[in-house]
Amino acid sequence: MLRIPTVDLKAQYETIRGEVLSAISEVLDSQRFILGPKVDQLEREIAALCRTRHAIGCASGSDALILALAARDVRDGAKVITSPFSFFASAGSVVHAGGRPEFCDIDPRSFTLDPAQLASRLSSDVKAVVPVHLFGLCADMDPILDLCASRGIVVIEDAAQAIGASYRGSDGAGPERMAGEMGVSGCFSFFPTKNLGGFGDGGMITTSDDGLADRLRLLRVHGGRRTYHHERKDSLLLRSAGPDRSTSSITTRSVPTGGTPFASISKRRASARASITRCLSTCRNASAAWATREEISPRRSGRHGKFCLCRSTLS
Ligand SMILES: Cc1ncc(COP(=O)(O)O)c(C=O)c1O
């Protein structure tokens, strides 16, 4: 049997080796490893990509979720509804923040939170909803946002797997919006295998709420606007959440601004997906698996929508 890895980081690294080594070298020469201008630059570029006013770097996608929940006062067992079909961190972060996760099932066509089932789960004690954009495919956000807005419930997007993905637009059902732009905040991961992978852990929170951005910036450094002056007691409960400079420095070089590595890597991944799809369609068992997924995933929008099918077929 031919084994095809879903991601080949070594092959990808070979294509950007020179740039990565020079970025690492710059960081080592500067001897500044936490926050600083490289992180600021990455934050500006991610905010531009996601069309939000702010992007706040942090140590991982999990920390992004914990910080986003904490910044909206999710604690003391507050109920948070999320998807059961996700990486552990979507629900685990709710527990870390002090909330209580509850699952609402997914739509089997998209593998993302089912708005119809969500409607019957939203009671007055629900503090937040965390839809998960999976495999680069955005959850069906419009009905989720409507349901939550009418009940005063906060929506925090788990966009760890969906940087650069968009919702609507191409289907004519509404204006295009980016992952991370739709909820009060969006949480991203730069885990090395992600669409925009770093060279270590890294995360980012996007928001267009100025007050929330300020709070997040404070929470990520233990509540201290000035070194050793800690204004917020509740921040002390969080573990260190500052992004490291080397990850940011390297990731900054890969952010999707035109012909940069992120754009070309995404393009290559798309072309690999197409080739694998073609190959699988000639293989009897694999094409059977493919057909099953095609049947249940006739999905709209999302620049990376097909990834969902490919990934499911290969796993
Ligand atoms: C959907 C989802 N949420 C959150 C996370 C957590 O991100 P990190 O591994 O950077 O903490 C991941 C990472 O795999 C993820 O896939």
Residue nearest to atom 7 of ligand 1 (CA): 61
Q: Rounded to whole angstroms, what are the CA distances from 284 to 43, 44, 287, 289, 291? A: 46, 47, 5, 9, 11
Gap from CA of 96 to ligand 1 centroid (Å)? 14
Which token pair is 300? 């709209």
Q: Which atom of ligand 1 lies at the shortest distance from residue 132's CA? A: 1
pLDDT tens sequence across 89-102: 999 999 999 999 99
Nearest partner of 43 among 55, 35, 34, judged by Cα = 55
Per-domain residue ranges for the chain?
A: 9-252
What is the distance between the alpha carbons of residues 128 and 148, in angstroms, rounded to a whole number?
8
Gap from CA of 200 to ligand 1 centroid (Å)? 13
Q: Taking the C-alpha atoms of 223, 226, 230 and 232 in order, what is their torsion angle to the nearest 10 degrees?
A: -40
- CB atoms < 10 A from the CB of 9, how many? 12
Mutate to test the pocket of ligand 1, among 58, 62, 134, 195 (most ligand atoms within 8 A of CB): 62
Which token pair is 237? 């409960």
3-state DSSP of 33-60 = CECCHHHHHHHHHHHHHHCCCEEEEECC
Residue-level pLDDT at 77: 96
Residue-level pLDDT at 286: 52
Residue-level pLDDT at 171: 81
Q: Rounded to whole angstroms, what are the CA distances from 207 to 107, 155, 250, 266? A: 27, 11, 23, 24
What is the distance between the alpha carbons of residues 193 and 309, in angstroms, rounded to a whole number?
18
pLDDT tens sequence across 226-252: 888 887 666 655 544 455 555 555 555
Residue-level pLDDT at 131: 98
Which token pair is 34? 């936490």
Gap from CA of 206 to ligand 1 centroid (Å)? 15
Q: Rounded to whole angstroms, what are the CA distances from 201 to 142, 190, 244, 253? A: 31, 6, 8, 16
User: What residues of the chain score a pLDDT lower than 70?
Assistant: 232-262, 280, 282-315
51: left (phi over 0), alpha (psi -120 to 50) or beta: left
Mutate to test the pocket of ligand 1, among 93, 111, 191, 315 (most ligand atoms within 8 A of CB): 191
Is 112 a pocket residue for ligand 1 (Cβ < 6 Å)? Answer: no
Mutate to test the pocket of ligand 1, among 65, 87, 138, 244 (most ligand atoms within 8 A of CB): 87
Is 85 a pocket residue for ligand 1 (Cβ < 6 Å)? Answer: no
Task: Give the end-to-end CA distance of the chain in Å, rounded to a whole number.
Answer: 14
Residue-level pLDDT at 314: 28
Residue-level pLDDT at 231: 78
What is the distance between the alpha carbons of residues 158 and 137, in angstroms, rounded to a whole number?
12
Decide: 183 and 53 in contact? Cβ < 8 Å: no
**DSSP-derived secondary structure for 237-290:** GSPP-PPBHHHHHHHHTTS-SSSSHHHHHHHHHHHHHHHHHHHHTTSHHHHHHH
Q: What is the pTM of this model?
A: 0.83
Which token pair is 36? 């600083």
Is 67 a pocket residue for ligand 1 (Cβ < 6 Å)? Answer: no
9-252 CATH, one of 3.40.50.2000, 3.30.420.40, 3.30.360.10, 3.40.640.10: 3.40.640.10
Task: Please tell me what DSSP assigns to residue 205.
Answer: E
